[in-house]
Structure 1
Amino acid sequence: MSGYKLLFSQLKLSTFRGTRWTSRFHEGFGGCGKAFLSSNCPKVCIVGSGPAGFYTAQHIIKARQDVEVDIYERLPVPFGLVRFGVAPDHPEVKNVMNTFTQTAKHSRCGFYGNVNVGSDVSVSELQQAYHAVVLSYGAEGNKSVGVPGEDLAGVLSAKDLVGWYNGLPNCRELSPDLTCETAVILGQGNVALDVARILLSPIDILKKTDITRPALEALAESRVRRVLIVGRRGPMQVACTIKELREMVNLPGSRPEMVAADFEGVTEALKDLPRARKRLTELMLKTALEIPSEKVQERRKNASRIWGFRFFRSPVEVLGNPNHRVAGIRLAVNRLEGSGEGSQAVVTGEVEDVNCGLIISSIGYKSLPIDPSVPFDSRKAIVPNSMGRVQQAAGLYCSGWLKTGPTGVIATTMNNSFDTAKSLLEDMDSGTLDVSAPKTGSQSIRTLLDKRGVKLVTFSDWEKIDKLETRRGEACGKPREKLLTVEEMLNVART
């Protein structure tokens, strides 16, 4: 018998049950196997299991064979905005969860859900247990519109509406009023178009997605037939991408309704635009101004729902009715100063009122402070940092929207997170980050949380939830039927 097999035969697997050491044999005993030198391994803790957290973990694990990474998540389920932010009818975007699952199941990665960092455990306590802590918990706050009347019933944030139809537990009770004919969305980014598309999509399309059952039932009864997507600047500054615009243009049962005057001078400016912006603007021009083919004309003539961009408009006031509900919105009419991306909207003094019963603010997410010990820039709503290194806080890093603000798509977050991981690894290699002293990692944190009555959810526990949701979805022709409360999730995890 070879030395490899002899050693393997002599080990009692039960001794190491629940640890992450087993696949270390396939790494030729390189690095830091849990069963042998775990106490001397560099240990990294990541707070947040969305794309930023998982991409950071992925890069660290791949780059060094001697680092253990633990991911802590506030909810019992992983994947953050991939699960709760990506539109239900974009299943291809959610495929990234397969990659994240591989990372979570790696021998040197641990997942601990149902842990609220900042209340269940402090960042300082994590720093005592780990050589480095990476904050990747994203942006769960809403930016305020800042106009009178925004607190009236019928004014919602896009973040909350997206969370409602995607099954985010704290948005479960949202219950939006969809009895009006016209909805106004403030903002013209991809999230705004996602919301518009979900509001106007035929139910036969939505029922094949992982949209939640309560949302599906509410949308089936919706009387919303017209959605206006409002932006303070013009067509050449619109923040969405061509993919989302094309989906709106081709949405079954709907037709576009644009204001031709909003596109004055745009055709002449096309030649100077970057390629991606040029293609997007050309599609808008075609949609707004060109006479479509007979087939498209016929489809649009039979459409029962309408959508359209409204450019050069800023909210001034939400107008209410005697029942303190939304009755409309007053918009300032703007003009642009400057050109291109750097142009600024300037009010003209003219206003217009739009009758509507639902207003959805999609002007951006913002990060919130997690712990008094962590530096936080309230104005920019980020943790102040240099290439992911938190300023004046050795051993503390950040990635994702907490690092840059809520910009870009998942691919942007991937590069952002890889850069943070590189900074951390450079600090390890240079000795700036001291990893020589042993750290206890998850061992001491789990003991601490147990004493505080916090019930951890491991990745294998999540897989129980995943299997149940998938099974429930298959029963009604959907990819999954999500559990909607933390209590339900925990009950399944503990089964």
Structure 2
Amino acid sequence: PRVCVVGSGPAGFYTAQHILKVPRWDLAAGRAGTCPPREASLPCLALSRFWGSLVGSWPCSSQNVINTFTQTAHSERCAYYGNVTVGRDVTVPELRQAYHAVVLSYGAEDNRVLGIPGENLPGVYSARAFVGWYNGLPENQDLKPDLSCETALILGHGNVALDIARILLSPLQLLRKTDITDSSLAALACSKVKRVWLVGRRGPLQVAFTIKELREMINLPGARAVLDPADFTGLESAVKDASRPRKRLTELMIKTALEKPVEMQAAAAGAAAPREWGLKFQRSPQEVLPSADGRRARGIRMALTRLEGSGDSAKAIPTGDVEELECGLVLSSIGYRSLPLDPAVPFDSQRGVIPNSSGRVEGVPGLYCSGWVKRGPTGVIITTMNDSFDTAQSLLEDLQGGVLDISPSREGFGLVESILHSRGVRPVSFSDWEKIDAAEVARGKAAGKPREKIVDPAEMLRIIGH
């Protein structure tokens, strides 16, 4: 059988990894010699590098993941083809003609909008665009965020929100040791931001970030946490029946709120105030307020909320009270959203996912999905790994149970290649990606950092001779 995976991010690679664990003779239902190549469709492992930065903005945190994906790409039963846009360069029906099974693992490339007045003012950015800017995603290099204000406000209590806060407040000597782009580093060197608020609609028991990311933020040199002890009143008893991760996370927030850091003592003694960050709860954005000249954001009006229900199902209900928070930089980190890929693929526009059952696309035998486009943009990388393994297992069960018809021969990439050639599309291989990777590492070594990311796609293609 021949299997195609659309997407070169974690969901795509984990799906391929699980399929490749099964010996080829098992996959071929006793017909030795057939092999199931996995062919990705997004350029140069870029989604893997970018997504790794989302789950932990220091490069080392995603290195083990990237090494695992590299091993998968080097498998003799796996082939990688990048620089191809599925839905434009080749359609999903055309892929289904070439393969016995197709898995869609293309992630969530859009962001949820606030839907409030003022969200299009200068100084208001989506988290996706901002993270893409400092991580070297080519499409976001023209962002040029205005960092001339002292106070930034991030809407959202997830890991991405914490990552952004850490980037905004990190000492330059720390950032220089990472693979952040030179242009972003230069902009951050001139940044006047010294205070970051992370604001959420619900309470401490509903935050979406995880303890690892929170601890890294708490331990950030030169930045003190400002948490109001009143926000945590009564939570020690309320969290007793919570899951262990939720309990540990809440206990860390309570401990941080009650502590009086050395930095605060120094500030009280007259020393220069350090940078600071804090969490604000039960506030829902109503309007981004414009400056007097209307040229940029100057603040945000928030509706105060109360919670109905408990745990993850608690809902934020406006109380009728409002408050205004002053800030010159607003970053919306309220979630990502998948987009439809091809008219031939069912898509739930309301939920932003492909309708499926354990990864099997509803009503389309032989078509599968994994990752965020399957379940929605939630969880950390281990969540995506388990989700992708679940989809791969569904595919394997269908192969071994005879649900997937593998009797007709499929040409695989030979057919796709002819289609791409007829449309003037020239794919890149994994060895091409490794040339780009080597060039980035070499440039980084010369600058004393892990790598210097190449942000111009045309330059990438020149490096590999395209």
Return the TM-score normalized by structure 1: 0.89
Give the aligned residue type for 1:427: D
SS at match of 2:240: helix
The answer to whether the aligner puts 1:307 opposite 2:307 as a matched pair is no
Residues 239-278 of structure 1: pairs in structure 2 closer than 5 A: 239-278=208-247
For 1:33, the equivalent position in structure 2 comes to none
Contact 1:78 1:113 in 2 (8 A): no
CA distance in 1, matches of 2:165, 2:371: 26
Out of 184, 199, 202, the position equivalent to 2:168 is: 199
Q: Deviations over 1:240-299 (max 9, x none)?
A: 11111111111111111122322222233232322211111111111112344x588449
Could you tell me which residue of structure 2 aligns to residue 466 of structure 1?
A: 437
Distance (whole Å) between structure 1 residues aligned to residue 36 and residue 133 of structure 2: 35
Partner residue, 2:459: 488
| Secondary structure at 2:19 match in 1 | helix
Give the 3-state SS of the residue equivalent to 2:80 in structure 1: strand
Contact 1:53 / 1:136 at 8 angstroms: preserved in 2? yes
2:2 maps to what in 1?
A: 43
Counterpart residue number, 1:212:
181
Q: How does 1:53-68 map to 2 (within 5 A)?
A: 53-65=12-24, 66-68=34-36
Match of 1:3 in 2: none
SS of match in other structure, 2:13: helix
Distance (Å, rounded) in 2 between the aligned partners of 1:394 and 1:271: 46
Query: Aligned equivalents of 2:198 and 2:407: distance in 1?
Result: 55
Matches within 5 A, 1:81-480: 81-82=50-51, 85-292=54-261, 297-298=265-266, 303-321=273-291, 322-480=293-451
- 1:64: how far off? 3.5
Give the AA of the match of 2:458. E
2:55/2:381 contact within 8 Å kept? no
Instruction: Identify the residue that residue 75 of structure 1 maps to in structure 2.
Output: 43
Stretches of structure 1 that go unaligned for 5 or more consecutive residues are 1-41
Q: After TM superposition, which residue ranges in structure 1, 4 or more long, deviate above 6 angstroms?
A: none
Q: Percent identity?
A: 58
Q: Which is greater in Rg?
A: 1
Quote the Cα distance in structure 2 between the aligned partners of 1:409 and 1:445. Answer: 33
Aligned residue type for 1:308:
G
Q: 1:174/1:54 Cα in 2 relative to 1: closer, same or farther (>3 Å)?
A: same
Q: Which amino acid aligns with 2:383?
A: T
Distance 1:53 1:449 in 2: 21
Query: Paired residues, what number?
Result: 453
1-structure distance, mates of 2:95, 2:18: 21
Cα distance in 1 for residues equivalent to 2:57 and 2:214: 17
- Deviation readout 1:115-144 (Å, 9 max, x if unpaired): 000000001110000011100000010101
Shift of the 84–488 alpha-carbon distance from structure 1 to 2, 3 Å rule, reads farther
Q: CA deviation at 1:83?
A: 5.0
Superposition TM-score, scaled by structure 2 size: 0.94
The question of whether the paired residues in 2 share the 8 Å contact of 1:71 and 1:112 is answered with yes
SS in 1 for 2:21: helix
Structure 1 residue 88, shift from structure 2 partner: 3.4
Q: For the residues of structure 2 that align with 1:295 and 1:376, how far apart are their CA atoms?
A: 51
Of 443-452 and 52-61, more deviation after overlay is shown by 443-452
Task: Please report how far the alpha carbon of residue 337 of structure 1 lies from its aligned counterpart in structure 2 after TM superposition.
Answer: 1.5
Alpha-carbon distance between aligned partners in 1 of 2:267 and 2:19, rounded to the nearest angstrom: 51
Give the conservation status (yes or no) of the 8 Å contact 2:347–2:354.
yes
Task: Determine the structure 1 residue equivalent to 2:28.
Answer: none
Report if aligned partners of 1:154, 1:325 keep a CA contact under 8 Å in 2.
yes
Query: In the alignment, is the contact (CA less than 8 A) between 2:53 and 2:59 conserved in 1?
Result: no
Deviations 1:25-66 (Å, cap 9, x if unpaired)?
xxxxxxxxxxxxxxxxx1001100000000101111111314
Q: 1:303 to 1:206 in 2, by over 3 A?
A: farther
Letter in 2 for 1:51: P
1:30 equivalent in structure 2: none
CA shift for structure 1 position 93? 2.3
